[in-house]
Structure 1
Amino acid sequence: MTIPEAETETREVSDEVSRLCNQLLRTAKTPRHRAAVQALADERTILEVPAARHALVVDTSRGARANFEGLSGIQYGLGLDEQQRTFLGLVLSMVGIGITTLASVEDLDDRRLPIILRAILRLAGNDTIAVGTRL
């Protein structure tokens, strides 16, 4: 039985994104950048967009690193949907870029909201508050 070409391509992109996320986390300059990269890694769909990877990633002597400034200017030209743009705006605000208000979290879906909440906790240096479903 053979694996369909689309599934193989999807798996290759997923593997590439996983390797890229690990590299970006290793080369993150500050705790803010680490929290932002981790949020993008957890969200995943934004980094699966080739234009977003091209705008975010720069090669350095230490390997690839995140250049959030590269994303800020073309945020609306990346072909992202509204949920992805809102999430990206919040991530960019974590590193001090843009003017996305915290109130935009009300536009996030149930998958992305916990990711951004965990990112905010990482940014605050808090590892004691859990983010999950209320019982």
Structure 2
Amino acid sequence: MNTTQGETTVPETVDPEAEYQQLSTELLRNTKIRRHRAAVQALVEERTILSMPAVQRALIVDSRKGQAAQLTELSGRQYALGLDEGQRKFLGLVLSMVGIGITTLASMEFDDRRLPIILRAILWLAGNDTIAVGTRT
């Protein structure tokens, strides 16, 4: 396309939802260990943690196959990521699922949004995809 004097090119707007979905898909595709995949899936579903730029800088590394999650990098940085208490507790439990740190379920106070995410992550960790987690009717 030729531009004449006086014309300006408008940069394409980035759709944050599409960008997040692409990142999520790539992270999950490049995570092969089941317990790590369960942890990444929980972070993808929880969304508020993984959407934070500080978390992305600490978690995501470039690999030969694209972006990948390096969960060990989050361990020592949990208190420097700008997370609120609920996010920090959720992240602590997710990291303990992969053997990083120790967080007990008894210390958790889950809201209605995060509880099903953790329950599904535990099922993925166990390799069970037959038990449904959701609201009873």
TM above 0.5, one fold? yes
* Partners of 1:47 and 1:17 in 2: CA distance: 9
C-alpha RMSD of the superposition:
1.5
Q: Paired residue for 1:22?
A: 25
Query: Percent same amino acid among aligned pairs?
Result: 67
Task: List structure 1 runs of 4+ shifted beyond 3 angstroms.
Answer: none
With normalisation by structure 1, the TM-score equals 0.86
* Partners of 1:116 and 1:34 in 2: CA distance: 13
Q: Paired residue for 1:89?
A: 92
Contact 1:25 1:34 (C-alpha < 8 Å) held by counterparts = yes
- Unaligned runs of 5+ residues in structure 2 are 1-12
Q: Pick the aligned partner of 1:56 from 55, 59, 69.
A: 59
Q: Paired residue for 2:117?
A: 115
TM-superposed CA distance for 1:101, in Å, is 1.0
- Unaligned runs of 5+ residues in structure 1 are 1-7
TM-superposed CA distance for 1:83, in Å, is 1.0
With normalisation by structure 2, the TM-score equals 0.85
**Aligned pair count?**
125
Select the structure of larger CA radius of gyration.
2
Q: Pick the aligned partner of 2:73 from 36, 50, 70.
A: 70
